[in-house]
Structure 1
Amino acid sequence: MSRGPQRIVCLTEETTEWLYLLGEEARIVGISGYTVRPRRAREEKPKVSAFLSAKIDKILELRPDCVFGFSDLQADIAAALIRHGVQVVVFNQRSVAQIFDMLFQVAALVDRVAEGQAWIDRTRARLDAIAAAGRALPRRPRMYFEEWDDPCISGIRWVSELMGIAGGDDCFPELAAMPLGKDRIIGEPQRIVERAPDIVVGSWCGKKFRPERVAARAGWQAVPAVRDAQLFEIKSADILQPGPAALTDGVEQLHRIVLQWSARHG
């Protein structure tokens, strides 16, 4: 008999992707409407929430014995469900280490500790290999990660850490420590110009990154990344999801961008 919750609603994508990777997708009875990984989840599971809102009645109809949420931004959803007697587990992972901790906890909850730990060990080993390759580069590029364009918002902590693992240096490490997007707003875009990023990576929270708009910003023509056409997009689902995607596809894309830059400028 399988142990742990049997009917789980995932209010964000990362726990959905992780349960699929663990082979425990049968436990999922509802997902976020923003879920794109894995693709089949959108076809198989009812969509019951956005990020800041949820269909409480629909969730209750699914009779979940556990709901997985993320961060203070879903606190109101969690409170509403708790008042209806639903068990809610809200994770608040903001760093690479915390992402790994969350993955282990979910694996334990669904009685998949061995499988979860094996995946974690493989992924840690790959990150170590990427970091070693990054340390071997003759020069590390300065990287600016843009989470939103108007106003300009720089990357969150796990993204900053992944840029470091990939072989680059975050232009705004002091902002990466701020968990909320409003605290990572770069008030004056000239600050970005002054930090002269070699690479700009855009991931505009679900809307398409427009490198031509970045290149056309006033005063940006002399920025190394613009001058050398080093403007790249990484899809939000691959990097802004604090789960398996960021630790695999997200960091791999960052690393390829850094290696390509190094081949030209190293």
Structure 2
Amino acid sequence: MIGPRRIVCLTEEPTETLYALGEQDRIVGISGFTVRPPRARKEKPKVSAFTSAKIGEILKLCPDFAIGFSDIQADIAAELVRHGIEVWISNHRSVDGILDYVRRLGAMVGAGDRANAWADELRCGLDAIESASTALPRRPRVYFEEWDEPPITGIAWVAELVRIAGGDDIFPERAAEPLAKQRILEDPDEVIRRAPDIVIGSWCGKKFRPEKVAARPGWNAIPAVRDGELHEVKSPLILQPGPAALTDGVRAIEAIMRGWAARRAG
């Protein structure tokens, strides 16, 4: 067996990737937030959240590698390193970054050819969606909200997927900010001024409430609210920088775009 043999996945995307590559036997522990693939929750012990981890439980699993994401997991990574465990913290925040992540993780476990083929397949799928989006009568303006209190706008890969599906994110300058705190919308009235045709909510860990969005002061003037174009994309499909976003996530956005266009045509 090439590469690490006992891997702890501190977030969902390495779990989904390793299962897809047929390398799931290497995984000895996963994040409690993992939902993809569903079998992982039944087969693997849950040893971490996103900002915290059961270090003692992880050590009992005798891992030789841990995989996490971003500065938010820096403290977890540091603690594991102090216990002699090798850690890879990825920090990708774009569609190309996700594809590169698949390739790099595959190479680490000796599945480089399979990972490259899958990444190419994912890219082709995105290209097909982007090509099909040219049939839309016009590009809708989209407000993507990943949290409501306070409102937080979408991150870079989300804005890219909206564009690929045929829309335009109304806060492209905020999407470039890597940290959620930098994407907090200090003035919600800015959404009114930018007048989105579609609102997509993906509130991390809780159900999107379109009626609450519609009831915000002054938001009845927004085309999306006026026309009832308030939609949810489940957070596990879109808010993690992994394969889910490039498959079910972007397809969910595409379906919203197509539905919007069909209602305009009718």
Is TM (by shorter chain) over 0.5? yes
Which position in structure 2 is the counterpart of 1:12?
A: 11
Name whichever of 114-123 and 162-171 sits farther off: 114-123
Which position in structure 1 is the counterpart of 2:178?
A: 179
1:7-64 CA deviation, whole Å, 9 max, x = no partner?
A: 0000000000011101111100000011111111111101110000011111111010
- Which letter does structure 2 place at the counterpart of 1:32? S
1:88-125 CA deviation, whole Å, 9 max, x = no partner?
A: 01100100011111111100011111111111111111
1:174 CA drift (Å): 0.4
1:264 CA drift (Å): 2.1
Sequence identity percentage? 63
Could you tell me the TM-score, scaled by structure 2's length?
0.98
Q: Superposition pairs for residues 7-46 of structure 1, below 5 Å?
A: 7-46=6-45
Give the secondary structure class of the aligned counterpart of 1:35: coil
Q: CA RMSD in A?
A: 0.8
State the 4+ residue runs in structure 1 displaced beyond 6 angstroms.
Answer: none
Which position in structure 2 is the counterpart of 1:256?
A: 255
Which position in structure 1 is the counterpart of 2:129?
A: 130
Give the Cα–Cα distance (whole angstroms) in 2 for the partners of residues 135 and 198 of structure 1: 17
1:259 CA drift (Å): 1.0
1:75 CA drift (Å): 0.5
1:263 CA drift (Å): 1.6
Give the secondary structure class of the aligned counterpart of 1:221: helix
- Which letter does structure 2 place at the counterpart of 1:181? A
Q: Superposition pairs for residues 41-56 of structure 1, below 5 Å?
A: 41-56=40-55
Could you tell me the TM-score, scaled by structure 1's length?
0.98
1:137 CA drift (Å): 2.1
Kindly indicate whether residue 199 of structure 2 is the aligned counterpart of residue 197 of structure 1.
Answer: no
Give the secondary structure class of the aligned counterpart of 2:219: coil
Give the Cα–Cα distance (whole angstroms) in 2 for the partners of residues 103 and 123 of structure 1: 10
Give the Cα–Cα distance (whole angstroms) in 2 for the partners of residues 114 and 229 of structure 1: 46
Unpaired runs of 5+ residues, structure 2, are: none
Give the Cα–Cα distance (whole angstroms) in 1 for the partners of residues 33 and 20 of structure 2: 18
Give the Cα–Cα distance (whole angstroms) in 2 for the partners of residues 142 and 223 of structure 1: 11
1:229 CA drift (Å): 0.7
Give the Cα–Cα distance (whole angstroms) in 2 for the partners of residues 112 and 265 of structure 1: 46
Give the Cα–Cα distance (whole angstroms) in 2 for the partners of residues 100 and 72 of structure 1: 20
Give the Cα–Cα distance (whole angstroms) in 1 for the partners of residues 69 and 57 of structure 2: 19
Which position in structure 2 is the counterpart of 1:94?
A: 93
1:171-205 CA deviation, whole Å, 9 max, x = no partner?
A: 10000000000100111110011111100000001
Give the Cα–Cα distance (whole angstroms) in 2 for the partners of residues 158 and 83 of structure 1: 32
Aligned length: 265
Give the Cα–Cα distance (whole angstroms) in 2 for the partners of residues 254 and 108 of structure 1: 30
Which position in structure 1 is the counterpart of 2:79?
A: 80
Give the Cα–Cα distance (whole angstroms) in 1 for the partners of residues 151 and 244 of structure 2: 24
